Amino acid sequence: MSLTPEQIAHYREHGYVILPDALGPDLVERYKKRLREVVLGAHPPGAASRIMRDIHFAKKRLPMPADPEHALWKVMNPDRFDACLGECLRIPRVVDAVASLIGEDVLAFLLQFIYKPPCVPESVHPFHQDGVFFAFEPQEQVVGAWIALDPVDADNGTLCVVPGSHRLPVTGHQQIEGVNKNSIGATGVEGNPEVLARSVSFELPAGDCVLFHPHLYHRTGGNRTQRHRRVITVHFANAHCHATSENLIREFGFTSVRGRTFEGCLQPVAAPDLGFRV
């Protein structure tokens, strides 16, 4: 189902909208089950670099837990090697909603399954704008989807946004010590009391989705609980978007999920890399 006019207006005004029940319980369990199998080794050998530990375990700041899934940061672009997880590029309710915002010619890119390790409250991703990574435009025609696979709240690392900040240009960002590589933060935003006072944190059941603009300031906190916090993130761009740099990140690996592609615009990657390359 497409978004309602009220939902579209909310997105335009605030930079985000909640899409309830993007995934039903059966699919939530399907993807969690397959994700765990992949983490425990059910993947081609060449894909091992796509399964990434949180910095606190990768740098041996904390001892490895008995359950390897409790040490993870993310599984990156598993559509390169796993058909089941690759289905998440084309979740019908999500693609329908995205098309309501950016049009019927849709590319999906950068599929990630992101964890917050239990009992690691320091594992944060500071306030940032995803658009800092995207060397293509117009970014008004780009939407991110953040889909909960577990119930999420302020205690286990939910999503926090600053409504209205999508009207800003992409600002300066920097790497912050102690944070996972490329989990960069917007300069002068993290810890700013005025920003925090305007921010909104979500409490969502498994299966709900937040759609958000690439300029929206957003962050995720650490997980102070013993519970899992697993989410799917995937981005979408209108197929009329075009690159603004020759250094367009190959890792995005655009996939056409609705409509057509167009000459001179973003194109699907014919043979994406199986392993992760920086």
Domain count, the chain: 1
Flag whether 276 is in a domain: no
Residue 209, domain extent = 5-63+76-258
Cα 107 to Cα 248: distance, rounded to the nearest angstrom = 15
- Token reading at 265: 């615009």
Flag whether 265 is in a domain: no
Flag whether 274 is in a domain: no
Cα 38 to Cα 32: distance, rounded to the nearest angstrom = 10
pLDDT score, position 272: 84
Cα 232 to Cα 194: distance, rounded to the nearest angstrom = 29
pLDDT tens for each residue of 209-246: 999 999 999 999 999 999 999 999 999 999 999 999 88
Flag whether 268 is in a domain: no
pLDDT score, position 249: 78
Flag whether 141 is in a domain: yes
Q: Are 61 and 55 in contact (CB under 8 A)?
A: yes
pLDDT score, position 250: 78
Flag whether 68 is in a domain: no
Flag whether 236 is in a domain: yes
pLDDT tens for each residue of 66-118: 999 999 999 999 999 999 999 999 999 999 999 999 999 999 999 999 999 99
pTM for this model (two decimals): 0.97
127-131, 156-160, 237-241, 271-275: least confident range? 271-275
For 210-272, give the DSSP string: EEE-TTS-EEE--B-SSS--EEEEEEEEETT-EESSTT--GGG--EEEES---TTS----SS-
CATH code: domain of residue 166: 2.60.120.620
> Is the pLDDT assigned to residue 174 strictly greater than 60?
yes
Flag whether 249 is in a domain: yes
